[in-house]
Structure 1
Amino acid sequence: MLEQDLSALVAFRNATDASNLLGWSTQRDPCSWQGITCINATIGSSNGSVSEIRERVFKINLPGVGISGAVPAGVLGSLDELTVLSLRSNLLSGPLPGDLIKCRKLRSLVLQRNRFTGPITWDFQSWPRLVRVDLSYNTLNGSLPQSLEGLPRIKIFLVQNNSFTGKIPAIQRGSSIVDFSVANNSLSGQIPQTLAQLPPQDFSGNLDLCGRPLGFVCSAPVSPEPTPSRPAAPTQTKPGRRLSLGAILALVIGDVAFLAVLTTLFMLCYWHKQHKREISAASARSPKPKAEVSSSDDFTREFSSSDKSAEAQAGQLVFLKTSKNNFSLEDLLRASAEMMGQGSLGTSYRAVLEDGQMVAVKRIKGVELGSKEFEKRMAVFGEIEHQNLHVPRAYYFSKTEKLVVTEFIPMGSLAAQLHGGETQQSISLDWSMRLRIALGAARGIACLHESLGGQVVHGDIKSSNILLSRSMEARVADYGIAQMLGPGSESALGPVGYRAPELSATRKLTQQSDVYAFGVVLLEILTGKAPWRSNHSGEMLDLPRWVQSVVREEWTEEVFDQGILRFSEEEMVEMLQIALVCVATLPGDRPKMRNVVKMIEDVRNWGTGGEELSSEELKSMDRP
């Protein structure tokens, strides 16, 4: 290794206790030290001729290793072959190393979640290859440098949760930008036009910012010498500028009209509020209907109808083989219910029966099957039993209503736990929980694919259809419903963000398209991000494309959810590789679900019997 690189690493080690924490010993080759990557580079002599090839430091990648202290000045700048500096999630303090501007080949600068203080002194134009900057979650202050304007290759710029002040530079947005945030600082002034198309949350927490996309109109600058709207007294008004009688009358009439408009608006608001009170009082005095599903979406209308046609009379609640017939249609009608959510296949409700039993009811829309075919398919799904499947208990079919009744799961879905949602309970999912959920969901889907001679397709795999028991056991729900819809329905192709690329041409759900959708779910588990989002240039970007773009830039470790970074990164990388195989563009390149199960089991050497829960506390969560 070149002497200047070795000296820089030793000085950094001595200042940050890397020797004790990382085992950086000069008795070993520094290129083998944890977090250090080297390349062979040619070293020129003083007369310009090539003298030799030496190892140079290419990357420093030390996320979350516990190093502390201040980065010494005048040290890292000597690493002029450095392209990646990642020191995120440590305890580093003091000012940012100003001599980094000498590392002109730097492409990725990741220093978030440390204790750095002071202003940014760098001239960003010194880094023409820079594509990623993340200084978020420090205590930096001062203004954002104007040299940020015009960076040609920047894709990620994150400085949220600091104490920056002043205006935002007009950073060139570009079509390739992936992530941007200046939230939770003390920035002020108008948001530059180049950034006006970004989401509002990227600027939130800056009380003095205005303009698009926040919706706060920037106030016009005040004139240094304001002209009074009217003269203070007739004696102070020059004869040539006295208001005419017509102008005075116009002002008086305008003021009267303005007061009349205000009075009218006040009376309208008062009447509207009084009218709402009267309606509420009348509603409170009136008897409640027997089934309270939703004021806007009452699925009992079909049942309570006086229609005596043969189709209406034929409708009945049919219990499947796997369920005990312990309530009737009338019990369901008398239940109080509330809407839990709406999806592409219908609306879901939580119904509480009079005996306190809770069930989930899904009202399916767009079904084009006849009653016999519907009953046949429901009977088939009722035959499939697996601990990771959310098996239907009963169904109802009539001309205008198709309902599926299942067990109610109070913990809600994986989507609600990852992205937020209305669940009765919320748990911060650590890595072991996520891995267990992924394995359980994979086993449930594999069971479906292997059932009935391998002919079953789920068709609607998404994180909101992976329900979670109190012990965080995955239960795959809503399987087979998508295939009941008409062939021309967009909903029959699965949810946006989870659709395999070939579906736009074939318009036919397959087990391979199920594997693709499950791969997207794995990426959600790993990244914590939603499957379908607008990037900062207004383009809709699906999660697989975003992850693949980050991996291509050799930032594999940067894709993971911040909440799980302290856990086994090796296991996460293995899971990421499994997910990327599942979302392969060509269906033939995707593995079968039984092989996906085996790959996930191998991540932690789990047997086919599954992993035992890690504590009695988790086991007890399933008890009433």
Structure 2
Amino acid sequence: MNFQFYLCTILIFIIRITNIVHSLTPDGLALLSLMSAVDNSSSSSAVFSDWDENDPDPCGWTGVSCDRNSSSTPDPPPRVVGISLAGKNLQGYIPSELGSLTSLRRLNLHGNKFSGSIPDQIFNATSLHSIFLYGNNLSGSLPTSMCSLPKIQNVDLSGNSLSGEIPKGLNQCKQLQRLILARNNFSGQLPGAVWPALMNLVQLDLSSNNLDGNIPEELGELKSLSGTLNLSFNHLSGKIPKSLGDLPMTVSFDLRANNLSGEIPQTGSFANQGPTAFLRNPLLCGFPLQKDCTVKSNAPPPMGVNSSNTGARPGHKGLSPGLILLISAADAAVVAFVGLILIYFYWKKKDHSTGCSCTGTIKLGRHLNKNRKSRFCGCFNGSLNNDIETDSEKGSSEGGEGDGEGELVAIDKGFSFELDELLRASAYVLGKSGLGIVYKVVLGNGIPVAVRRLGEGGDQQRYKEFVAEIHAIGKVKHPNVVKLRAYYWAPDEKLLISDFISNGNLGNALRGRTGQPSTSLTWSTRLKIAKGTARGLAYLHECSPRKFVHGDIKPSNILLDNEFQPYISDFGLNRLISIAGNEPSSSGGFMGGALPNIKPTNQEKINNYRAPEARINASRPTQKWDIYSFGVVLLELLTGKSPDHSLSTTSSSNEIHDLVKWVRKGFEDEKPLSEMVDPMLLQEVHAKKEVLATFHVALGCTEGDPEIRPRMKNVSENLEKIGT
């Protein structure tokens, strides 16, 4: 009787398996192995509720995407190309059977509780190009067999328990673009031979591991790197290699919390780094840290030093080592006590308005976390990624007028991130001006943004006015205008988040650090910049919701990307800053742009791009102001000379009109074009007619009588005709 029962059971099982095999595609069977590898729970039941073994087409299952045209044969079975079951609280292991999905391109299982090692067999899925397994409990070593994948580009295994050394076999991952191994248990030294082979790598994050030894010189050969090179929170030691200065200028370093020593190099991309990049390395010195490498220690001479060198009497044995240590300790204690008293009174006075003690930094202000119901204080030190300190950690419970709920609002619905992500992101100062401090911030996804701090003024009554103005600016969408993406409002802090434009501004390109224009500014490039700027300005004047007046057009407010496409920045900021309770200044020009750490010069304060009528006190900006300023920018593009060209030969009363008057006089005296045009353009003889036509457009824009100046729409149309 029992034998017959078992026989029937086996037959039923065989029939069931046969039916599944006939009904499901091979890809479907491989997917069922994943469902079987996950522990049964309420969450997994909900995820796999539509994973039906009797369904011949797995392409409709939750988290599965397919390509039905992956084969040239007629009526091919659909092939699974993507698995995305992120953040589903799934617990189990990753089955090796997933390697049979030969068309699988994306495997996304991040934010679950998968454990065990990463099976080598899954890399038999030869079409894989993206593996996202971060935020699980995976262990074992980093499998170098992933480098056998011919198309592998993105690997994010952060937030697991992987261990062992970084394998030298990574040098076979030649197509790899992003390697993120942060927050694991990797140890040992970084292999130098790996990095020169990874010529396509754009992001490298090895932070929060147990790596030690020196930073290899070969990291400087990652020429495609962008975003952040993150080696923070390890045990790396020795000097920072100068070769890192050879990395692209847009790369941010994060070398915090290591044991690095010596002077920070000052070459290449090191010039763009803020102090936060090097914090918590006690033995580091030099710019941008406020620690001079020439300062010598006042420690007592070591034991055994000849008494004749210490001023002791001949034959005297000198102080005992124990007494020397005791005296040194007492001296250090006294100095530390006095220093603490001075620091306490200084920052007590400094921070009276917010109660937020950010020693040596710029205060971000306090914000209210809706979920935890606790205030926290974020502090900047040339960047945004400093520690967040909750009141529970500080033991503080004070209130005050600065308290209130901060709100981070995304204007662009496709652009979203959390405030905590913004505060912890790697950043450095781009510039400071009367329009606020601007930081470049690299978010967790590697996307850089520009963050402008408007200040700490403004009351809640003006919040609606601020929001209305922000949303009017946010509606401006033009390929030649910097896009505002989000804003943050709190009673003691206002932030604007916009696109980061990577190639600096027109002022830098024209004059550079040496005063010489960039060799990349050919005539065709300059004409491209002029046309794009004119299109953007015409849009602001004619088509934007408010028909904006910029009021401060100049080269530093015309940003350039890597293709020299221009972007107008800083429009509408004067009004926002006025609402925020600060006095606006005309020395801005950093919103969204890549700039070095600079201070406004006297020349910038004069602002020689303004129209004659703009010098009258209490006059309101008009579109005619913008047209005149644009005309001066055109003349600068044509001549290579700044508006204060001939200050030494003219009276100060005429200095604003110097460049305009100089060009007009040149045409009146019928001087050769070669005496007025930028010498760098003389080689492009074919552009003579185009240059001459552009001069006439510029002279029309810079007419002294604003009523005679053309509309920006007409200026743009006239420029578009040149060179076509």
Q: Which has the higher contact order (CA 8 A, sep 6+)?
A: 1
Give the TM-score, by structure 1 length: 0.46
